[in-house]
Structure 1
Amino acid sequence: MLELPGTPAAALVPVTRDGRAVGAFVLTGGQVRYRSINDPDQVLAAAAGAAAVALLTAAVAVLGRRRPPAIGAVTMGPGGWVSLRGTRAPALRPARRRPWWARVLRARRLVIER
């Protein structure tokens, strides 16, 4: 700090650059201190950059968590038949307790014979 003899009780000297305030010199008690001012454009640019990075990270995380379909492309064949040609059968789920509706209807599990 710079000690100035005989200065007034308090004085403020603004500092500008290209017509914008960038800071101020504060003269109090014979001492000079510089106080900078945050540029609103820089704060806005930093916030926009942080938001863009956060959105990009969230998009990559969402797209990375998508499961591929159990079967390949499903197309309509002649006469409105659904065609699954060229796809392999999906893996069966592990055996677990049957749901209540399957027990009520006495439904049987579909078994694919090869």
Structure 2
Amino acid sequence: MTGKTIGTQSAGSGEAETPVFDTLVQMTLNAFERSALDPETYLLTRIAALVAMGASPASYLLNVGAADEIGVPVERIQGTLVAIAPVVGSARVVTAAHGIGEAFGLSLLPGGVPPGEGEQEGAQT
């Protein structure tokens, strides 16, 4: 059974293995290199796509965290949410703002409106 993965450790090797995470990191690096976008535009585009998909707070944590690390101001993230709202609908933007706020302890909405309140999913305004 040497070489089989047990939990997050490879039996016999002593090295941690994270094949799912490693694959996601490699896919992201490949996509960034091929996009020909600057890092800020790339991350703002990813955040917009996450909103459109109705992503979980964990997804925002990874992407907004990366944006924060390279110095993307929160105002640029807010501007991205404003720009995509007419396309993806207010319900998705409110859910995303709540998810980002939850992940980072930010208040992007007045009064911290919880997800699900407001317009129906997919409604466009």
Q: TM-score range by the shorter chain?
A: under 0.3
Which structure features the higher share of strand residues?
A: 1
TM-score by length of 1: 0.18
Which structure features the higher share of helix residues?
A: 2
Give the structure, 1 or 2, with the largest relative contact order (CA under 8 Å, sep 6 or more): 2
